[in-house]
Amino acid sequence: MTEPPIRPQLRKQLWEDPDKGEQARDIQQAFDRQPRTALRTVVMQYSEPLVIGNLREQPAGIEAIRILEDKDQQSPVRAGGLCHFAWLPQKGGAVVGSIDGMNVPLNGGKSYRFTFRFTYEPAQG
């Protein structure tokens, strides 16, 4: 995962036709206003808190979009979605206090394959 995610960038910046140049700038501004997202899949045992490191920038939000039990990927894990986290770069990055639907007594000690979606602020407001 590239951190932070690269924003879409038009390749050509100068146009012979002023109308095309204006349209290209409008398109680039629309790209710059979109939130940036990145995906990361990690395999780890569930514990509270979980530390997701190697992040260069604080995400606006983190979602667990897919959770699979590592040894039994056919059985559904009834959890996911909102990740409650604190941005603590001195502790390694995003410290996830909990994931909705998961808890240590039920899920602790098992290895899971987590796919997280990180959402970052747009390049421009």
Query: For 96-108, what is each residue's pLDDT tens digit?
Result: 999 999 999 988 8
**DSSP letters along 35-83, please?**
PEEEEEEEEEEB-SSEEEE--SS--SEEEEEEEEESS-TTSB----EEE
- Confidence at residue 4, expressed as pLDDT on a 0 to 100 scale: 58
Alpha-carbon distance of 51 to 24, in angstroms, equals: 41
- Amino acid making up residue 119: T
Query: For 42-84, what is each residue's pLDDT tens digit?
Result: 999 999 999 998 888 899 999 999 999 988 888 888 887 899 9
Q: What is the pTM of this model?
A: 0.81
Residue spans of alpha helices (H) in 6-115? 18-32, 104-107
Q: Could you give the maximum distance between any two Cα atoms of the chain, in Å?
A: 65
